[in-house]
Amino acid sequence: MDSKIHSWMEQYAGALRDTFGSRLWFVGLQGSYARGEATAQSDIDAVVILDRVSPADLATYSAMLDRLPGRDKVCGFISGKDELFSWEPSDLFQFLYDTTSVLGSLEPLRERVSREDIRRAAWTGLCNVYHLCAHNMVHEKDPDILQGLYKSATFTLQAICYLQTGVYEKTREKLAARLQPDDRKILAWGHESRERPLSPEKFQSLSGNLLVWAREGLSHFSKERGC
């Protein structure tokens, strides 16, 4: 975490303490700022967990953010603690491992996520990438959607990497070093998908590569389960 975002997160955590007091259970940071990969266009993916969250709490939180610098860049996740402990476990995997703690700890949640949950997270990720990639190739033909799908594929690769190695790699550079060659190509193609303008030929090529990768991944997980 660089000094600029560290300073902002300290101000953010202080505002949360002033606003919610002892109800504040956890504060963290996700995304490109947490990975040290932020650009000028990056959002601040802040995480806040209270004891519980009501509609009034959300209005209070929004008003608090309005008083902070960089309001237009702030997004992220807010939840109540009880809600988070009731979350579908496979959906917790990415959240747990991608979140850098600023205040408090998510460690009590880890025991809720099993290897089978992580496997389901990877499998579901492949399903979603395949479906949306096919839809985009036929209907939207939108390079921005394609770029977003490669980002989703990166999250799926993090789950696949964890299943293969037992290690969660936050950065693309470290993730690439641990992936199998066919999976590593997805990261390279994802970088190419950011090109603008993206020619129709390039769009079709990158979309096709992603679709085939997801299809082969689905086949692998299905066979592994004995379907």
pLDDT tens column, 175-187 = 999 999 999 999 9
Best CA proximity match to 17, nearest among 50, 46, 45, 43: 50
Q: Please name which of 153, 155, 154, 180 lies closest in space to residue 165, comparing C-alpha atoms.
A: 180
Measured CA to CA, the distance from residue 223 to residue 55 in angstroms comes to: 45
Euclidean distance between CA atoms 200 and 19, whole angstroms: 50
- Give me the residue spans of the domains in the chain: 3-110, 115-225
Nearest to 207 by CA among 118, 111, 142, 159: 142
- Beta-carbon neighbour count of residue 189 at 10 Å? 18
For the cut 60, the answer to whether the pLDDT of residue 84 exceeds it is yes
Q: How far from 218 is each of 103, 113, 160, 164, 179, CA to CA, in Å?
A: 38, 22, 12, 16, 17
pLDDT 10s digits, 29-79: 999 999 999 988 899 999 999 999 999 999 999 999 999 999 999 999 999
Q: Give the pair of three-digit tokens for residue 33.
A: 């700022």
Predicted confidence (pLDDT) at residue 128 exceeds the cutoff of 90: yes
pLDDT computed for residue 56 by the predictor: 99
Share of the chain above pLDDT 70, in %: 99
Identify the H or E element spanning 72.
none
Average pLDDT over residues 195-223: 97
**What mean pLDDT do residues 142-146 have?**
98
* Cα–Cα distance measured from residue 44 to residue 29, given in angstroms and rounded to the nearest whole number: 8
Mean pLDDT across the chain, nearest whole number?
Answer: 96
Q: Which fold has domain 3-110?
A: Beta Polymerase; domain 2 (3.30.460)
Asked whether residue 97 carries a pLDDT value surpassing 90, the answer given is yes
In angstroms, the CA 106 to CA 96 distance is 7
Q: Give the pLDDT band (50/70/90) at residue 2.
A: confident
d(CA 43, CA 72): 8
In the predicted structure, residue 227 carries a pLDDT above the cut 90: no
* pTM of the entire predicted model: 0.91
**Per-residue pLDDT averaged across 98-110, rounded?**
96
Q: How far is CA 70 from CA 8, 32, 124, 171, 192, in A?
A: 9, 16, 34, 24, 29
